[in-house]
A and B are shown apart, each in its own frame.
Chain A
Amino acid sequence: MIRVILIRELRLAARGASGTGLSLAFMALFILLCGIALGGSTPALGPGLLWLAATLSALLGLDRFYQTDQQTGALAQMHLAGTTGLSIVIAKCISFALTTLLPLILVSPFLALLIEMTGTAITGTVLSLLIGAPAMVAYASVTAALLAGQRSGGVLAVILTAPLLIPVLIFGTEAANAFATDGLGAVQFRMLAGLSFIAVALGLPTSVAALAANRGPS
């Protein structure tokens, strides 16, 4: 069942319904604005800026996580078809990672060139983003599930997710900076991986509970 939902999501994304383009445009715009506001090339701030850009761009696309399917009744149909809540959440998380977060991470090396980051810094940042991605997806899923019944929850989504993402942001940027000296074995990378595991363990059941609360007769 996970595979079926996943194929559906990827097909929707291929037809342009997932808004990946908008998120990518926002991320590029964010880096452009940072470059201008901070006075041109700012290689030292690079990892932090890329992390911020990726996080905020991913959070902007949050209303397509569950909200659309909740409103069209697709989630209710999946539930009626006997899919467990956990399968829905896992499938949705994988598709969010593939269609929204992964493209953002993949363009980040090119955006890094705009702020004149060095090769090692770029590699470190991309690796830290990849390792932190599960945490971002899991917490995004929690917030999206909480707000699934809302027509618009853009700003609230950011307010709810940001405190949960602060540890990930801290260790993500630290890991990106530590990559130049310690490589992948840096303690920050291990912490980041640990945070990702915690986030997945917490986020999946919480999302299931929140979706159930949004589905049930009140």
Chain B
Amino acid sequence: MITRFANPQRFVGLARWLTPIFGWSALLILALGLWQALFASPAEAEHGQTVRIMYVHVPAAWSAMAAYSSIALASLISFVWRHPIADLAARSLAIPGAAFTVLALITGSLWGKPDWGTYWQWDGRMTSVLILLFIYIGYMAIWQVVEDRKRASRLAAITAMIGWVNIPIIKFSVEWWNTLHQPATISMPDSPGLAPQLLLPLALMALGYTLLLGWLTMRGMLAEIASARAARKPAPAATARVEAL
């Protein structure tokens, strides 16, 4: 599997038909999920209508973390096997992942205001998501500033991996610090305990976000491959071969 898709040509072949599937099913499921979340599902007893923010917020936070984990995994594969496609995947995941992190932070604040009476609380979870955003920014900045493509990919992979190892430590310390400073005043509604009417839109939205993340990443990877091809000056014989393909 890992070596099979090290060939960009083979990957492009797969991505050509996988990308539209991701894109259209993301659109469909997000539309269905949003309709369920915003109109069809009932308001929650304790939180009232503000519970609808959850359907946008919780999947965003999940996707943000899933995207970073995928970056770290892809970076490991790229670092150990110098796998070109893993490298593209890591790079293409960064912008959607960072965007989901921002979305999670913004919707979290908007939800916090009516529920806790404050936009921001130095709660362990919120603080570590904010730190995750800065880790994303650092990761993307490495890609930006290092001009040489291969060197950038090695350095970015190292950055992603050391960030990944540190995330549990950061999360633990922030939680420890938080409980020391302020007794726990907040409890989020725990998602597994949700009623089925609330769980259905949440599950749909989570699936939709995942597909959207997949679509954005695939698009990013295809664009990277295309621009790498455009940058390369092909020898005449090679051009003929690419056209034949």
Contacts and interface: CB of A to CB of B under 8 A. Distances in A.
Interface of A: 142, 146-147, 149-150, 153, 156, 159-160, 162-164, 166-167, 170-171, 174, 195, 198, 202, 206, 209-210, 213-214, 216, 218
Interface string B216-244: 00000000000000000000000000000
Given A174-B180, A206-B158, A195 B169 contact: yes
B191 to A, nearest CB: 27
Given A174-B177, A210-B158, A214-B151, A150 B169 contact: no
Interface string B104-144: 00000000000000000000000000010011011001100
B166 A159 contact: no
| CB-based closest 6 A-B pairs | A213-B154, A167-B173, A160-B138, A218-B148, A170-B177, A170-B173
Interface of B: 131, 134-135, 137-138, 141-142, 145-146, 148-151, 154-155, 158-159, 161-163, 165-166, 169-170, 172-174, 176-177, 180
Given A156-B141, A216-B151, 14 more contacts: A142-B162, A146-B159, A156-B142, A163-B131, A163-B170, A164-B162, A164-B163, A164-B166, A166-B173, A167-B173, A167-B174, A206-B161, A209-B158, A213-B154
Contacts of A214: 151, 155
B145 A163 contact: no
Contact of B135 (A147, A163, A198, A216): A163
17 contacts: A146-B159, A149-B151, A150-B145, A160-B141, A160-B142, A160-B159, A163-B134, A163-B138, A167-B169, A167-B173, A170-B174, A170-B177, A195-B169, A206-B161, A206-B162, A213-B158, A214-B155
Contacts of A147: 145
Contacts of B162: 142, 164, 202, 206
Q: Which of B134, B172, B173 has the most CB of A within 10 A?
A: B173
Given A142-B162, A146-B155, A209-B158, A166 B174 contact: yes
A153 B147 CA distance: 13
A162 B170 CA distance: 11
Interface residues of A, dominant DSSP: helix
Contacts of A171: 173
A176 to B, nearest CB: 13
A156 B139 CA distance: 10
B140 to A, nearest CB: 10
Contacts of B149: 218
Nearest to A218: B148
Contacts of A213: 151, 154-155, 158
A162 to B, nearest CB: 7
Contact of B141 (A149, A159, A166, A210): A159
A15 B170 CA distance: 39
B151 A163 contact: no
A2 B112 CA distance: 54
A146 B174 contact: no
B68 to A, nearest CB: 12
Contacts of A164: 162-163, 166
A167 B168 CA distance: 10
Nearest to A177: B180
Contacts of B174: 166-167, 170
A138 to B, nearest CB: 10
Nearest to A155: B141
A88 B145 CA distance: 25
A149 B135 contact: no
Contacts of B154: 209, 213
